[in-house]
Chain A
Amino acid sequence: MKRVICRMDRCLGCRACELACAVEHSESRTLVTAVREAVKPRARIRVEAVDGGLHRTLALQCRQCEEPVCAQACISGGIRRDERTGDVLMDPGRCVACWSCIMVCPFGAIMRHEGLHRAVKCDHCPGRDIPACVEACPTGALVFVEFTAVTPHGLTEQRPHSQAERSDRIV
């Protein structure tokens, strides 16, 4: 089961991931035409400030929880977990825009798509080997890796500074 991980020490907050995600989920999938589409494309990933300013940032999207609370809260049965890939999937046809999923997602990883009038979230870019955000990340902060385990203190893993590849990982 693969997950997108953000290595916080490499995230510059440039938002290239947001742009790539929005384009990937647009009608035309091309930047120049995507920005002119009638329904404004929307990113499913968000760069967030860690310290109030933009000195430390992280890019966050759906964590594909093993026990998704969004699926429990969905009043139309429109969210389910694919046991094979471990991905949490949304059925767009079932969404009634009640925002119950947004009400419970502890990561804030589900967004309101006003143009489409439904909830959207990361779908790991079906049809792509590597999600668009990961491919677009200029510093290698976002990586798409095989998921192993969750650390006891949550999913943030901090390695000591001295180590060659120090990283604060947000799985």
Chain B
Amino acid sequence: MKILIIGASAAGTAAIESIRRYDQESSIVQLSDERHQLYSRCLLSYYLSDSIPREGLQYRDPGFHSQMRVELHEGTRAVHLDTDRQCVTCDDGSVHEFDKLLIATGSLAKFPAYIPQGMEGVNVLRTLDDVEMIRTNVRRARRAVVLGGGLIGMKAAVALNECGLVTSVVVRSSRVLSQMIDQEASHFVTERLGASSIEVFFKTDITEVESRGNTLEAVRTDSGQRIPCELLVVAKGVQPNTDLIADTDIRKRWGIETNAHMQTSRENIYAAGDVAETFDITTGRHAVSALWTCAVQQGHLAGLNMIGRGKAYDGAVLMNSLSIGGIPLISYGVTNPPEGEGYQVITREQGRAGVYKKIVLKEHRIRGIILLGRIDNAGVLLSLIQRREDVSSFEDRLVSDQFGYGTLVGSVGAPDLARYHNP
């Protein structure tokens, strides 16, 4: 069988690993329009601040592709997909036929129209090339502004602050990490950022970018401030990179629609990772997860399904983990439940100890979690979301620091461990 994979990041790599675990026969061709193979995107901010060396970005051995017998074409962009003839044409004119195709083209950083492109000092943070550019700019900068308070914005701000730049974050919403946490947790995080002198401007947007020649000098905000800066990192979120299916009949909404087997509306074409839309366990709707953990899981399942080892995806749970000023923070699913839809919330707050825990329930099932300060056993709670377990018999213990696997053994019984032991 001829397998073709477009994209060589989280999802594409995971697919290769699960295919090769069972299938040594099929040929695998992989196309990547980047030139730096197999680096972890999530580590980019750590490299930006020199917390890890450039080699530290590689998350697999340099010999990975030859070990896995993958024909990797770097710096090669797939530009056209012919779904009937089952082939892909690249920018270098090469044509690759396939029996099974995996679209793992990820996402692209959004760039608001009011920010001029190509100005020196204005960057996004998505690829290793982006980071190299930011690192060059850091050397001649004193002040940095980050536009956007999501995960990438926060990681960028922390890294730039560690580089020694005076760093401000401009956030449109009234809280940071608004997709991930609630007002209370945002308050904790903002305090920690403040302690390391990162200033956050809430309910603010950039209206104008000032430059001298083509070099950034300052930004102006809608609250009338002028913030001088030599570096602006635009982190206004991402969008699925669906270019390739534009003139095909493959169905998409925000991302490419997939079923539980990671198949698109075309039988032999699969999609996984940031480009794919999947079922979301906590909301019951279909959505793009745009997360590393989900991309790996989906790539893994896509790989298995492509070689006929059919396994169904339970669905995604949005989850994030990061440390802000040494305080660990993990969140899952619905953390800001809408009013009047039958959600119930349990919280525990120990302000002085820097601990905040929140569990969001609906019909006795966990739909969302925030853990700040104490994250032990976080994954045990996640397993309850994934199993859609009725937690009413131990609801009161969910936010306790003593809650753990033992609690489950004593109440609902040990989770189906076979799941983690039988591939």
Taken residue by residue from 83 to 122, chain A's Cβ proximity to chain B (1 for < 8 Å, 0 otherwise) reads as 0000000000010111110111111111110000000000
Q: Give me the interface of B with A, judged by CB distance under 8 Å.
A: 14, 40, 42-43, 46, 51-52, 56, 58-60, 292-293, 296-297, 300, 319-323, 328, 330, 375-380, 382-383, 397, 402, 404-407, 409-410, 413-418, 420-423
Beyond A63-B420, A150-B417, whether A100 also contacts B321 by CB under 8 A is yes
B358 to chain A, nearest CB (A): 16
CB-CB under 8 A for A72 and B14, given A99-B330, A108-B376 = yes
A67→B420 contact, CB < 8 A:
yes
The 4 A-B residue pairs with the shortest CB-CB distance in the complex, in nearest-first order: A48-B406, A77-B59, A108-B377, A50-B410
Q: Considering the complex, which residues of chain A in the window 18-74 have a beta carbon less than 8 Å from any beta carbon of chain B? A: 46, 48-52, 56-58, 60, 63, 65-69, 72-74
Q: Which residues of A contact B51 (CB under 8 A)?
A: 96
Q: Can you report 16 A-B residue pairs in the complex whose CB atoms are below 8 A from each other?
A: A52-B407, A57-B406, A58-B409, A66-B423, A72-B296, A73-B296, A75-B59, A76-B59, A78-B59, A94-B56, A100-B321, A102-B375, A103-B378, A155-B414, A156-B414, A170-B409
- Give, as a whole number of angstroms, the nearest-CB distance from A85 to chain B: 15
Contact A48 B404 (CB under 8 A): yes
Give Cα A63 to B402, complex, Å: 20
Partner of A99, one of B58, B321, B415: B321
A108 contacts B293, C-beta separation under 8 Å: no
B405 lies within 8 A of A154 (CB): no
Residues of B close to A58: CB separation below 8 A: 406, 409
Residue A152, interface by CB 8 Å? yes
A161, CB-defined interface residue at 8 Å: no
Q: A77-B59, A99-B375 are in contact. Are A156 and B407 (CB under 8 A)?
A: no
Question: Smallest distance from the beta carbon of A22 to chain B beta carbons, Å?
Answer: 16
Min CB–CB distance A75 → chain B (angstroms):
4
The reply to whether A99 and B40 contact each other, CB–CB distance below 8 Å, is: no
Most chain B CB inside 10 Å of its own CB: which residue of A48, A57, A68: A48
Given contact pairs A50-B407, A106-B405, A150-B417, a sample of 13 additional A-B residue pairs in the complex whose CB atoms are under 8 Å apart: A49-B402, A58-B406, A63-B417, A65-B420, A69-B420, A72-B293, A96-B46, A99-B328, A102-B378, A103-B382, A104-B379, A112-B376, A151-B418
A128 at the B interface (CB under 8 A): no
Q: How far is the CA of A127 from the CA of B382 in the complex (A)?
A: 34
Which of chain A's residues have a CB closer than 8 A to the CB of B420? 63, 65-69, 106
* Interface residue ranges, A against B (CB under 8 Å): 8, 46, 48-52, 56-58, 60, 63, 65-69, 72-78, 94, 96-100, 102-112, 150-156, 170-171
Complex CA distance for A69 and B322, rounded to whole angstroms: 18
Instruction: Let me know if A72 and B297 touch, CB within 8 A.
Output: yes
Per a CB cutoff under 8 Å, which of B296, B319, B407 touches A103? B319
Contacts of A156 in B (CB 8 A): 409, 413-414
Kindly state the separation between the CA atoms of A107 and B378 in the bound complex, as whole angstroms: 9
CA distance A163 to B114 in the complex (A): 75
Residues of chain B contacted by A103 (CB below 8 angstroms):
293, 319-321, 330, 375, 378-379, 382
- Give the chain B neighbours of A97 by CB distance below 8 A: 323
A108 engages B380 (CB within 8 Å): yes
Residues of A within 8 A of B58 (CB): 77
Chain A residues whose CB sits within 8 angstroms of the CB of B410 once the complex forms: 49-52, 56
The answer to whether B417 touches A112 (Cβ under 8 A) is no
Q: Is the CB of B293 within 8 A of A104?
A: yes
Instruction: List chain A residues, Cβ under 8 A from B376.
Output: 102, 108, 111-112
CA distance A63 to B323 in the complex (A): 26
Contact at B406–A75, with CB atoms within 8 Å? no
Closest to A106 in B: B383
Q: Which chain B residues lie closer than 8 Å to A94 at the CB level? A: 56, 59
Which residue in chain B gives the minimum CB-CB distance to A152? B418
Q: Are B418 and A104 in contact (CB under 8 A)?
A: no
Once A77-B40, A99-B328 are accepted as A-B contacts, the answer to whether A153 and B321 lie under 8 Å apart by CB is no
How many whole Å from A50's CB to the nearest CB in chain B? 4
Contact check, B40 vs A150: say whether CB atoms are below 8 A apart. no
Q: Are A75 and B378 in contact (CB under 8 A)?
A: no
Are A48 and B407 neighbours in the complex by a CB distance under 8 Å?
yes
CA distance A122 to B321 in the complex (A): 22
How far, in Å, is A80 (CB) from chain B's closest CB? 10
**B397 and A108 contact, CB distance less than 8 A:** no
Contact partners of B417 in chain A: CB under 8 A: 63, 150, 154-155, 171
Min CB gap B123→A, angstroms? 21
Shortest A117–chain B CB gap in Å is 9
**Cβ B40 vs Cβ A75 within 8 A:** yes
Cβ A52 vs Cβ B397 within 8 A: yes
CB contact under 8 A between A75 and B405, given known A154-B418, A156-B413, A170-B414: no
Q: How far is the CA of A99 from the CA of B296 in the complex (A)?
A: 16
Shortest CB-to-CB span from A102 to chain B, Å, is 5
Q: Is B409 touching A76 in the complex (CB atoms < 8 A)?
A: no
Nearest CB in chain B: distance from A70 CB, A: 8
Q: Could you tell me the distance between the alpha carbons of A110 and B14 in the complex, rounded to whole angstroms?
A: 22
Given contacts A67-B423, A100-B321, A154-B417, A108 and B404 within 8 Å (CB-CB):
yes
Q: How far is the CA of A99 from the CA of B324 in the complex (A)?
A: 12
* Complex-state Cα separation, A75 to B44, whole angstroms: 11
B296 to chain A, nearest CB (A): 5
